[in-house]
Each structure stands twice: as C-alpha cells, then as structure tokens.
Amino acid sequence: MALLQISEPGMSAAPHKHNLAVGIDLGTTNSLVATVRSGMSTVLQDEHGHALLPSVVRYLENNGVEVGHDAQAQQSTDPTNTIVSVKRFMGRGLKDIANRAHIPYRFVENTNKESNGMLQIETRVGNKSPVEISAEILKTLRTRAEKALGGELTGAVITVPAYFDEAQRQATKDAARLAGIHVLRLLNEPTAAAVAYGLDNASEGVYVIYDLGGGTFDISVLRLSKGVFEVLATNGDSALGGDDFDHRIFCWILDQIRLKVPNFSPLSEEDTRLLLTKSRQAKEWLTDNYESQITCKLSNGYFVDITLNVSQFNEFTQNLVSKTLNPTRKAIRDAGLSLDEINGVVLVGGATRMPHIRHAVADFFKQEPLTNLDPDKVVALGAAIQANVLAGNRSDKDLLLLDVTPLSLGLETMGGLVEKIIPRNATLPVARAQEFTTFKDGQTAMSFHVLQGERELVSDCRSLAKFELRGIPPMAAGAARIRVTFQIDADGLLSVSAKEQTSGLESHVVVKPSYGLSDEEIGNMLKSSFLAAENDKQARAVREAQVEAARLLESITFAMDQDADKILSPDEKEAIYSQMEALKEIMKSDDSQAINRATEKLNKSTESFAARRMDASVTKALAGQNLDSLEI
Ligand code: ADP
Ligand code: MG
C-alpha cells in the first residue's frame, strides 16, 4: 500500500516545487515561448537555436503536419495547404472576411452547429478551422518548452491583441485546449510588453505601445494606476507591417531589372516568393548595415545582382513609416492625452528594429522609445513573467495585472433600448448585477438579449446571445424581481445569469458570440456612439415615453374589459376610450414630450375609475366575512 503524505493544515506538502509555466506570444507572423528561469525571463529556442517560430502550418499528404521554418519554405510550392497568418481568421465567420480576395485559401463555413458559422479552410487533409491550425503552432511551442524545461507544463499565459473581442479570445483559448495547454490567463499584448519592461513596478503612468509586426500595426495607450493597466485607446492598421517594406524592395528590384531588360516577362509564383524572401533578408540586413547585396537566379535563367543602400531604402519606404503616425495620433486623441503626458513609449514587433521607424517614433513623441529588449521577444517575455506569478512561483504580493472590457455590455429592455450593465473599460474580472421586472400581469417567462456596444438602441449594437427564464410564478406586472448578473472572467469571457428572487428560479448563458468584431468595427462602433450621443438620447427618450404609454394602455384596457360596464356611465366610458385612442395615435410620433403629456392626461382622467374599481373589489372581497376573520 502506498504511504500517504501528511502535512500540517495550511502547509504545502511540497513547499519548494517549481511549477513549469510559460508565456506564449501567438503572433500573426511569428510565435514564441518564454519562461522565467532563475528570476530572469528568457525565450526558449528550438534545437537549431531559433527563438522565433514562423506562424506557418503545412498539412502534408501523409496526414503529417509541418510547423514553422519548414512549412514556411514550402509556402510558394504548396500555397493552398500552407497556412500563414491564421491569427487573422481566429473567431471569424465567412462574413467577416468577405473582401479578402487575394488570400490563396478556399474558405468554407463550418457546418457544425456548435461552431456558430465560424469559417474553415479547405486543405488536402480536409477542412481545418483556425482554432485547429493555431493549435498546431501551440503544440510545437509546448513540445519545445517541455523539452527545454524537462517536465510537463502547469500552464501558460497566452497573449492576444488588446482589441480582440469575445469570439477571438474564446478561439484562442480553444486552440490552447486542443494543444493540451492549460491557460492561466489571456493577456493583452501591449500589457505584456509593458510588464516585460517592468513598467508595472511604477505606481502610476501612461504608456504608449507601438507594435509593428509582419502584417499588422497596433498602437495602444495604457494607463497604469494602482497596479492595473487600463487600455485607454487602441488604434492601428490591420494591413500594414514589415511585409509592406519587403514588397517595396521587391517592386524596386523589378524596376531595376526592367530598366535593363525593358520587356522582362512576368514573374512566376515561385520567383515572386523567392524575390520577396530576398527582399525581406535585404531589409533585415539594412537594419545594421549600410548596404545590401541582392543576388539570386530566376527560373528563366536571369541572374539578379543588385545593391540597395540604406538611403534608397529609407526614401522609398518613408511613406510607410508616416502611415503609422495617423493611427498613433488618433489613439492619443481618443485617450484624451497630450504628448507631454506620456511617460514612456515601448517598441514592439520585429519591424520596429528598422532605424527610420525608431527615428520617426522618437521625433513624434519627442522622447527616446524603450528599445533595450528585443522588440520581437518583448511580448513573450512579459507573458512569461505573468505566468510565473500566476503559477504560484512568486509571493502573492506581486500584483496581478488586469485588463479591461473594450466595449460596454448590456441587455435589451422594452422599446428596443439597451441597458448597459458593464461599462466599457471596466477592469476584469468583473461582475455586475441589476434587477429587472415583468411588464405584464401574470407574465411567466422573460427573454434576455445580451448586447455589446456603446449605442442606446438595440439595432445599433451587436447581438451576442439570447436566453430565457421560464416558469416565473404569475404575479402582478412589476412585482417579480429578476436579478441579472453579468460576469466576465479574467480572460474576458462573459457569462450572464438571471434569477427570480422570490422563487429562486434561475437560468444562464455563457456567451460565445457567433462572429468576432474586427478592430475597425470596434473603432467604428465607438466613433458612432460619440457622434450619435445626442440623437441616441432623444431616441431613448421617445422609446421610454412609448413604453410608459404602452404600459398604461395595457392596464387600462384590461381594467375597462373587466369593469367598465359595471362602474362607468356610457359618457365616462366614451371619454376614456377616446383618450386612449388619442394616446395610441400620439405614440406613433417621435415627440417624447407630447407622448408623456398624453400619458399623464390619460392617467389623471382614469384615477377616479381606478379608485372606484378598488372600492368595488374590496367590497366584493369583504362580502360575507365577519370582522374577526380579517387580519387587520
Ligand atoms: P508578428 O507580431 O506579426 O508575429 P514580429 O513581431 O515577429 O511579427 O515581426 C515580424 C516582422 O519583423 C517581419 O516583417 C520581419 O521581417 C521584421 N523584422 C525582423 N527582424 C528585423 C530586422 N532586423 N530589421 C527589420 N525588420 C525585421
Ligand atoms: Mg506580435
């Protein structure tokens, strides 16, 4: 029989066990895994000494899978089975990618009901979802980490862009689960970068994270206060990154060739890939060198041999550099800040190694950006630090970073209005509750519609989920008390529950929205909410007036049907009916004040009817009872 290990209550049986936890940067172009070793955050390398794992997955004929450099090398020979930039499709439906005609893959809609219309990519081994493809990248990183650390991982912190919505975050978690990785926390990429620089050790501050990766540009403004990073604003360009600089060099090479050979034939797919790869190498070389020699042989036998120097490169890419400054300006404006209020600027993403980017950023912010950590590793390094804390390897006094909700969350109420329950920028995890009541007498069911967005009307917000609470005991309108709780966990995932307070009846839904929102959509939703604030206020007033009027009409109609003939004279009856008609007519207008006046008038003129009804029902109830049996 095995011996049981006994420990004092409150004491751990193995007090010095170090939990193996890693930080993972699941990037669009490159992914990395890092861990804290002897107190230092370090990126783990593969057996060839590579730290960066290209986020490329290739499905082979024999059901095998290649991930990383090997897959990347086959991109031009096997484009439809070699998936790059899969992160762009995480948590997305076909509808979300309608205008991406240049992508070589065939997309299909996932017919599995559970998947809520998410897309899949057709490959030679069947349809693959972005979640499955990302899981291959994560599996490779997990294997790398377990080899390097000599044991099974306890868990990982995985980073996601700050603007990732519920669906995209959920997809990332699903991919981790598929890869057998326990997710300790999803962390915003800019927050991870700030942690890597130890900015969370300061007490307060506003920081800008400028992230130029392979194909995306993200700018985030963070405010640190009381140990919590709050995202004040995000902006960017989802179609701007290091790849565009490669493309400019590629075009320049073609121009040079055509100067020498005017009727040079169009390039094959493979030559295009080859020249793009050469262009990327030249770009990276020019970061530390004055000039770059570009040589290669094309399939038609033509030998390319050109020299590109830094000033030429800077000249024909300067407008790409400037292109990053517009979103930067907007983010700072949205955050309501001036440049001198910014305490620090962090450079993230391999493309920020380029000297002209660094100069442009320093010029713009009038301060030197933080660059002493490798910009393409900084997100993974910060995630590892966070993972180390969450896995319990450091004392609890180390603060746990929190993120915030990008958009408000709320419920539909009568009249197509949205009642916000959790406001935008609430720090996570968060739970908020609010009480609602029934609209009609004897109402036994209530339906809940969960929405995301800043606008007042349901039609202007995004629908996330619907659920119902059935079996409410019949009560008078307004008597039931239904408490609705919105809860968002530390990863930004939402669950909503509704509980009828007197009966204890409960119902809930975990929100897995059918489609994600793109960063542009989030931006647009915010923008339109600012622009529409005044209109929305009016629309809300009208809807509220209409709901009030409908409520009164409903109860008077009921009362009239029951008692009008018994209590009212024909004239009185006629007067009330005509006022009801008048209110019904005015309700159709969008004049909230007129509706309110008509409602008030009807209310007043039915007061005596209501009083007489009350008397009548009391008399009826009392009839035949003696005073002793009444509990007064
Ligand atoms: P992502 O966040 O999109 O996964 P990365 O942060 O890894 O991407 O950035 C990848 C980009 O960085 C590529 O375009 C790559 O060419 C570029 N890059 C990497 N090293 C250098 C360098 N030394 N000079 C210029 N660009 C570089
Ligand atoms: Mg990145």
Q: How far is the CA of 157 from the centre of ligand 2 (A)?
A: 15
Q: Omega of the bond prior to 54 within 30 degrees of 0, cis?
A: no
Residues of the chain with CATH 3.30.420.40: 21-241+318-402
Q: Which residues of 68-89 are buried (b: 16+ CB within 10 A; e: fewer)?
A: beebbbebbebbebbbbbbbbb
Q: Which ligand has an atom closest to residue 52 CA?
A: 1
If you search the block for the tokens 């230092």, which residue do you land on?
40
Which architecture does CATH list for 521-620?
A: Up-down Bundle (1.20)
Q: Which position has the higher pLDDT, 38 or 59?
A: 59
Listed range (251-265, 311-325, 481-495) with the worst mean pLDDT: 481-495
Structure tokens at 421: 């329950």
Q: Any idea which fold 409-517 has?
A: Substrate Binding Domain Of DNAk; Chain A, domain 1 (2.60.34)
Q: Which CATH superfamily is domain 21-241+318-402 in?
A: ATPase, nucleotide binding domain (3.30.420.40)
How confident is the model over 303-326, as a mean pLDDT? Answer: 97
Residue 602 tokens, joined: 């009807």
pLDDT band at 513 (very low <50, low <70, confident <90, very high): very low
- Dump the DSSP string for 461-522: SEEEEEEEEE-PPP--TTT--EEEEEEE-TTS-EEEEEEETTT--EEEEE---SS---HHHH
Beta bridge partners of 53: 31
- 255 labelled catalytic: no
Ligand 1 centre and the CA of 39: distance in Å?
27
- Range(s) within the chain of domains with CATH label 1.20.1270.10: 521-620
Q: How far apart are CA 297 and CA 275, in angstroms?
A: 10
| pLDDT for the residue 527 | 65
> Measured between alpha carbons, how far is residue 212 from residues 2, 209, 220, 620 in Å?
56, 10, 12, 79
Q: Report residue 70's pLDDT band, with 50, 70 and 90 as the boundaries.
A: very high
pLDDT exceeds cutoff 70 at 214: yes
Locate CATH 2.60.34.10 in the chain: 409-517
Give phi and psi for 458, each to the nearest 5.
Answer: -55, -40
C-alpha pair distances (Å), 249 with each of 292, 307, 510: 11, 11, 48
Compute the mean pLDDT over every residue in the chain, rounded to the nearest whole number. Answer: 85
Distance 350 CA to ligand 1 centre (A): 3
Give yes or no for residue 369 having a pLDDT over 60: yes
377 noted as active-site residue: no
Give the residue, by CA position, lying nearest to ligand 1 atom 26: 351
Amino acid symbol at 574: E
Q: Could you identify the residue written with the tokens 């300790």?
A: 184
Per DSSP, the three-state class of 105 is coil
Burial of 469 (0-12, 13-18, 19+ CB in 10 A): buried
Q: How many degrees, rounded to 5, is the angle at CA 543 between CA 542 and CA 546?
A: 85
Confidence of residue 530 (pLDDT cuts 50, 70, 90): low
Give tens-digit pLDDT for 141-161: 999 999 999 999 999 999 999
Query: Where is average pLDDT lowest: 22-31, 139-148, 228-237, 299-308?
Result: 228-237
Sorting pLDDT into bands at 50, 70 and 90, what band is 525?
A: low
Query: What residue ranges line ligand 1, CB within 6 angstroms?
Result: 27-30, 213-216, 241-243, 280, 283-284, 287, 349-351, 353-354, 376
Q: Whole-model pTM? A: 0.67
